[in-house]
Amino acid sequence: MNPVLKLLTEGVHLTTAQMAQAAGISESEVSQHLEQLRKDRVFLGWRPVLDLSRESDAAVRAVIEVKITPERGGGFNRLAERLSRFDEVESCYLMSGAYDLLIFVSGPSLQKVAGFVSEKLSTLEGVLSTSTHFMLRSYKEGSFLMEVPSQETDRLKVSP
Amino acid sequence: MKRFIARHVAGLPKSGIRDFFEIVSKMKDVISLGIGEPDFDTPWHIREAAIYALEKGKTHYTSNLGLLELRRAIAAYVERNYSLGYRPDDEILVTVGVSEAIDLALRALLNPGDKVLYHQPCYVSYHPGVALAHGVAIPVPTRSDDGFALNAADLEAAWQPGCKVLMMNFPCNPTGGTSDPARLEKIARFAVEKDLIVLSDEIYSELVYENPHTSIAVFPGMRERTIFLHGFSKAFAMTGFRIGYACGPSQLVDAMMKVHQYSMLCAPILSQEAALEALIRGEDGVKSMREQYLRRRDLVVGRLRAAGLPCHAPGGAFYVFPSVAPTGLSDRDFAYGLLESQRVAVIPGGAFGDNGRGFVRASFATGYDQLVEACDRIERFVNAATPCSAPSSS
């Protein structure tokens, strides 16, 4: 695996200088690798992982199971790509099983999300049904546990 | 009250690490590179196995030797990774960490006055362990320019009539030194010639970076005179579980088992259950931890050298052992000065025996960001401490 890609998959935030040191290559090589990964659409961008549960104006999030009609020649792709373009949609996956698409959406309020579902999503031609589940609480997000005592561990400060 | 204390206990020096611990634990904002255990928590699936065992009511004694299922898993693991075959029935003993296994072996083997060769710098308990078993410990030096490997020639020089045991720990705490097969073969020949039992503490053997690890027990004539000691603390980040094992010829294991049965009875069952899980499903976790240690090692070695401290690249474990000679300070003054002025804790090398003087042990079992910050601080300290007249190229 590309050494820079390997570092990225570990999900640790490093500067290019730190990446260079960790991968044992020069900083300009790191930049080249990053540039190539962007060009290849492997590295799409950064998003911070945040716990906003204590923020009063945190977004409302929901997962929506969507059944759609596949189309000759393109299967589910055209509709899935179209749905994905909405700003409210954070992620969109084609699934095996009882429904076709699983969509993660977020919005400023329950009404706004509900409005998106009833006005935009379910009215699209080809969408057969939707089933919306609002998220009540997050326990783990992007590999991070939400409730961790504190990073201050009780490891002895000096040990043999 | 002193008169009540047994002479061989009263005579033991206090651990140099202990003093240091007292000071560090009272300070704030210290980056500690003084910790001899992984910074990773035990992988979740291993912890969960212990919880599950507790829920299932596994709260009783086990066989003195340890759970048979665990001994079978140990036999398979040791065979697969070290090419050493041991019978689960009578050649493997599960212990409370390697520390207990060392104590058992020394107590089982030594008559008062028997001599034990061990390399130095070495783990803090070796010398006291021998003294507590009424033996006499004989240090054999290892050197920085040699990567802190052990040489048969130095063993020859240190050998005396009455030597019965050779204790080894490669990869080594505190130096990170390893031993290549060529050197081990010579040591093996020496052990056979002098009729020594070898206690080989291979607790760091999964954490090797360039060259694969070889156990001394694989060389001709060695299986029957080696007690292979290993455990779960370092590779599986399970220090607090206190679980290890000894493998060796059945008569030696049986003798150790006698001491174990009357002093410890058995290793804690929950730790044994967790250890079993580690052996069955834990090896991927070991691989990812090793990769992170390697990256940190390269960072720390590079930065310490750049700061002007001669430092060999350790082949294993998670310690670097740089010389502090260029600063003109003793290891103790360096460690205390660094702690005082830059709030970074390293251990003075003298804590690991006289041959460790002039060096400090820095553990890289700490997060990458913390290590970067610690290296910055060490560099500042070295720059301030190094005499201006000393040319940096020397």
Q: Which amino acid is at B316?
A: G
CA distances from A97 to A66, A92, B130 (A): 11, 15, 65
Mean per-residue pLDDT for B128-149?
96
Tokens coding B268: 């804690």
Residue type, B93: L
Q: Packing angle between helix A16-23 and helix B368-385, nearest 10 degrees?
A: 90
Question: What 8-state DSSP symbol labels residue B226?
Answer: E
Query: 3-class DSSP state for residue B94?
Result: strand
CA distance B249 to B187: 19
Does residue A12 belong to the interface with chain B, where contact is any CB pair within 8 Å? yes
Q: What is the pLDDT of residue B390?
A: 47
Mutate to test the interface with B, among A16, A158, A159 (most CBs of B within 10 A): A158
A155:B123 CB<8 A: no
* Nearest chain B CA: its distance from A155 CA (Å): 8
Reply yes or no on whether the pLDDT at B181 is more than 60: yes
A157/B368 CB distance under 8 A:
no
How far is residue B267's CA from residue B74's CA, in Å, rounded to a whole number? Answer: 15
Taking an 8 Å cut-off on Cβ atoms, the answer to whether B35 and A22 are in contact is: no
pLDDT surpassing 90 at residue B345: yes
β-strands A127-134, A60-68: how paired? antiparallel
Quote the CA–CA distance of A16 and A34 in Å, as a whole number.
9
Q: Which of B9-23, B47-61, B188-202 has the lowest mean pLDDT?
A: B9-23
Q: In this structure, what DSSP letter does residue A120 have?
A: I
Percentage of the residues of chain B whose pLDDT score is greater than 90: 89
Cβ neighbors of A54 (< 8 A, separation 6 or more) are: none
What confidence score (pLDDT) does residue A152 get?
63
Q: Phi, psi (5° rounding) for residue B256?
A: -65, -40
Name the minimum distance, in Å, from the CA of B111 to any CA of chain A.
28
Tokens (6 digits) for B373: 């910050």
Size (chain B), residues: 394
Which of these, A63, A62, A70, lies nearest to A128 by C-alpha position? A70
Decide if B209 contacts B226 (C-beta within 8 A): no
**Cα(B101)–Cα(B82) distance, integer angstroms:** 19
Tell me how many helices (H) and strands (E) chain A has: 5, 6
Domains of chain B are 2-42+284-385 (3.90.1150.10), 44-283 (3.40.640.10)
Q: Which residues of B touch A (CB under 8 A)?
A: 15, 17, 20-21, 24-25, 30, 32, 34-37, 39, 41, 123-125, 173, 295, 298-299, 302, 345, 347, 368, 372
The three-point CA angle B160-B166-B171 to 5° equals 135
* Chain A neighbors of B21, CB-CB under 8 A: 156-159
Mean pLDDT across B142-169: 97
Residue B354 is encoded by which pair of tokens? 């006289």
Query: At CB < 8 A and 24+ separation, what contacts does A128-131 make?
Result: A128/A67, A128/A68, A128/A69, A129/A66, A129/A67, A130/A64, A130/A65, A130/A66, A130/A67, A131/A64, A131/A65, A131/A66, A131/A99
Q: Summarize pLDDT for B87-127 with one digit per residue, the tens.
A: 999 999 999 999 999 999 999 999 999 999 999 999 999 99
- Mean pLDDT for chain B overall: 95
**Residue (of B291, B272, B345) closest to B73 by Cα position:** B272
Q: Which residue ranges of chain A lie beneath pLDDT 50?
A: none
Q: Comparing C-alpha atoms, which of B331, B267, B236 is closest to residue B104?
A: B267
Q: pLDDT tens digit string along B211-263?
A: 999 999 999 999 999 999 999 999 999 999 999 999 999 999 999 999 999 99
- Is the CATH code 2.30.22.10 the one for domain A60-136? no
Using pLDDT thresholds of 50, 70 and 90, give the confidence band for residue B342. very high
Give the residue from B166, B62, B164 showing the smallest Cα distance to B112.
B164
Long-range CB pairs of B83-90 (<8 Å, 24+ gap) are: B83/B215, B83/B218, B84/B215, B84/B217, B84/B218, B84/B223, B84/B228, B84/B247, B86/B228, B86/B247, B86/B248, B87/B250, B90/B65, B90/B250, B90/B253, B90/B254
Backbone angles phi, psi at B201, to 5 degrees: -90, 105
The number of residues in chain A equals 160
pLDDT for B394: 42
* Cβ within 8 Å, pair B35-A155: yes
Mean pLDDT computed over B353-379 = 96
Q: What are phi and psi of A58, to 5 degrees?
A: -65, 150
Judged against a pLDDT cut of 80, whether residue B5 lies above it is answered with yes
Residue-level pLDDT at B388? 61
In degrees and rounded to multiples of 5, residue B325 shows phi and psi of -55, -40
Q: Cα–Cα distances in Å, from A58 out to A110, B43, B128, B352?
A: 11, 32, 59, 54
Q: What is the largest CA-CA distance in chain B?
A: 69
Which residues contact residue B247 at a Cβ distance below 8 angstroms, ignoring those fewer than 6 apart?
B74, B78, B84, B86, B91, B92, B93, B227, B228, B230, B253
What residues contact residue A96 under an 8 Å CB cut-off, 6+ apart?
Answer: none
Q: How far is B25 from chain A (nearest CA, A)?
A: 6
In sequence order, what are the residues at sequence separation of 6 or more whose Cβ sits closer than 8 angstroms to the Cβ of residue B179? B149, B150, B168, B170, B187, B214, B216
Residues of A in Cβ contact (< 8 Å) with B372: 18
User: Shortest CB distance from B35 goes to which of A14, A21, A156?
Assistant: A156
Kindly give, in sequence order, each residue whose CB lies less than 8 Å from that of residue A94, ignoring residues fewer than 6 positions away.
A76, A80, A100, A101
Question: Which pLDDT value is given to residue A149?
Answer: 63
User: What pLDDT score was predicted for residue B55?
Assistant: 92
Residue B392 pLDDT class (50, 70, 90 cuts): very low
B chain contacts of residue A13, beta-carbon cutoff 8 Å = none
- Chain A closest-CA separation from residue B117 CA (Å): 21
Whether residue B174 has a cis bond before it, omega within 30° of 0: yes
CB-CB contact of B371 with B293 (8 Å): no
pTM for this one?
0.84
Checking A50-53 for CB contacts under 8 A at 24+ apart, the result is A50/A141, A51/A138, A51/A141, A51/A144, A51/A146, A53/A137, A53/A138, A53/A146
**Contacts of residue B15 in chain A, CB cutoff 8 Å?**
160
Choose among B231, B17, B14: nearest CA to B104: B231
